[in-house]
Amino acid sequence: MPQEDQLNLLQHSASISADQDLESGYTASQPVSGNFNNNSSQQQQQQQQQQQQQQQQQGFEDNNSRNTIREYFEQSSHPIAAFFFVAFRLGALLTYLLGSIFTDNFTFVFVITILLLAFDFWTVKNISGRLLVGLRWWNEIQPDGSNKWVFESASPSRINNAADTRLFWWTLYGTPALWALFAFSCIITLKFSWLIIVGVALALNMANVYGYTQCDKDAKKRWATGMATRSALGSLSSGASGLVGKAFTSGIGKVFGSR
């Protein structure tokens, strides 16, 4: 009987230890799986939040760009002229950069780019400058064969639109800088056929840059000369009126004094 009781106690203690091991294993494994699931769900939530933030930021930037363009066209005094001023220049740049992606025909890309550059040159020279900043230039051939630059500017009383002025001058000077970079790239990569397009673009753009720069200087000089002339005439007229007034006053004084 004592041996049987001892065996029963041993079996009972063994079953208790086994149950404890199972329970401890169960309780040990349960938190691990729970932590893993929590970590994975947190990572997914963080990724979703990051994606949402990126989408919101991208949408915010797109909205800002649209609002900027919309605000400019609302502020512009000549939105149609401004549109074509940018469209021809941007079209020539994009055709040069992306034309080879859509077609392998170099002649086609060459012709389209040159046409856009010609349209841009004529539009800027005759329309865009006159409407956006009140300036225009042209070159006349004299009977002796020499060239004469003629500059035309609007009345000094005209107030140019600030948005149109910024767009005109920034685009006028910025576009040749881009073509100069393309020329450097063509020389480095030995693409001399493409360098012909860049050379034509630089020639046409720099002609407008030189013409409008000189035209702006001439307009400012004439404005300064006109202001000086008007101030001189004003001082002369005031001086003359003062002398006449003094003479008249002194004459009247003498007449009444003699009496």
- Tokens 């997914």 belong to 44
Please report, as a single letter, which amino acid is at residue 230. Answer: R
Name the β-bridge partners of 93.
none
Q: Where are the domains of the chain?
A: 83-245
- Say what the pLDDT of residue 239 is: 55
Q: Taking CA 56 as the corner, what is the angle to CA 50 and CA 57, rounded to the nearest 5 degrees?
A: 90
Q: What is the pLDDT of residue 246?
A: 60
Q: What percent of the chain has pLDDT above 90?
A: 44
Asked if the model's pLDDT at residue 112 lies above 90, the reply is: yes
CA distances from 202 to 48, 102, 137 (A): 49, 24, 18
List the beta bridge partners of residue 209: none
Residues β-bridged to residue 149: 139
* Model pLDDT for residues 126-146, shown as the tens digit of each residue: 999 999 999 999 988 888 888
The gap from C-alpha 180 to its chain's centroid, in whole angstroms, comes to 18
Mean pLDDT of the chain: 78
Does residue 94 have a pLDDT over 50? yes
Q: Whole-model pTM?
A: 0.64
